[in-house]
Structure 1
């Protein structure tokens, strides 16, 4: 009788510890803060989707400013293939915007997120990226040697430093 009781307790303990498994992480450097069926949050866990601007509204607000604290909803075009330490967003005007993460404090997945909607919270600012930096970013993005060698002008545009990121699942 005691054996049956101990066996039943053992089975209950094992099943109680089973719980749901964590989502598959494609990049071990990714720090997932919150995962819900509709979204995954990286970085600042307090970031929400409330008040996020669409690209055209964001660009209108950014016009003529040195920097802008803002929340933006856009589509991911590309992510860093080395660590997930940057991504580019489609600005819906034929342009893209580069996003880096504050103090390299968090990363996003390297795979499976291109084409997904993302909400980023942080600071936008005009910036010029040197040829050397653009070549480094192209290498991290998995570009070919000929594509990297073809980069011969700095890039002037709006860049973003994100404190929090929500990727919609």
Structure 2
């Protein structure tokens, strides 16, 4: 009986110590890290709509409509006076005029050409002539270009409470 118990114990020990080299199949997905500089409220880039998709939302909106959103796009122009506004390309020939909530922060003046993530409120408004001329002057327009502004303009706008600048 002792021999049987000993044989069973040795067999059990050998079976339980057996190394299974079978490893579950895994698929490695390489996630590329993107570095951002954060300005304003702390945000992330999760669920940000590409500019082209945001353009579709703007086209469906009327003057006075507002929607909370997050978008990613390329900066075309920045206020050269103090960075208090910027224009972002919608990839369809249109632009979004971006201002910053409560003027709590400003953008670097050399931001044109860089990608940004905006968080805040998208809306459509009608910009009066004097305001358009003010923005044109801040943007470095010539006196002739400023004088050519003579009618209110329907504008796609965005009030950002947080911005990520892609490095």
Same fold flag (TM > 0.5): yes
Look up the match of 2:31: none
Q: Name the CA distance, whole Å, in 2 between partners of 1:156 and 1:120.
A: 21
Q: Name the CA distance, whole Å, in 2 between partners of 1:50 and 1:75.
A: 17
Which residue of 45, 48, 55 corresponds with 2:44?
48
Give the 3-state SS of the residue equivalent to 2:49 in structure 1: coil
Matches within 5 A, 1:48-87: 48-62=44-58, 63-64=60-61, 66-87=65-86
- Given that 2:90 and 2:96 are in contact with CA atoms closer than 8 Å, whether structure 1 keeps it comes out as yes
Q: Once structures 1 and 2 are overlaid, which stretch shifts more, 59-68 or 117-126?
A: 59-68
- Write out per-residue CA displacement over residues 1-28 of structure 1, whole angstroms, 9 at most, x where no aligned residue: xxxxxxxxxxxxxxxxxxxxxxxxxxxx
Structure 2: gaps (5+ residues): 1-33
Residue 56 of structure 1 deviates from its aligned partner by: 2.3
Structure 1: gaps (5+ residues): 1-36
State the aligned residue count: 131
Q: Name the CA distance, whole Å, in 2 between partners of 1:116 and 1:55.
A: 13
Matches within 5 A, 1:106-117: 106-111=105-110, 113-117=111-115
Look up the match of 2:36: 39
With normalisation by structure 1, the TM-score equals 0.74
- Given that 2:54 and 2:90 are in contact with CA atoms closer than 8 Å, whether structure 1 keeps it comes out as no
- Asked if residue 105 in structure 1 is aligned to residue 104 in structure 2, the reply is yes
Q: Name the CA distance, whole Å, in 2 between partners of 1:98 and 1:86.
A: 7
- Write out per-residue CA displacement over residues 108-154 of structure 1, whole angstroms, 9 at most, x where no aligned residue: 0012x101111000001110011100000111111111111111121
Q: Which has the larger radius of gyration?
A: 2
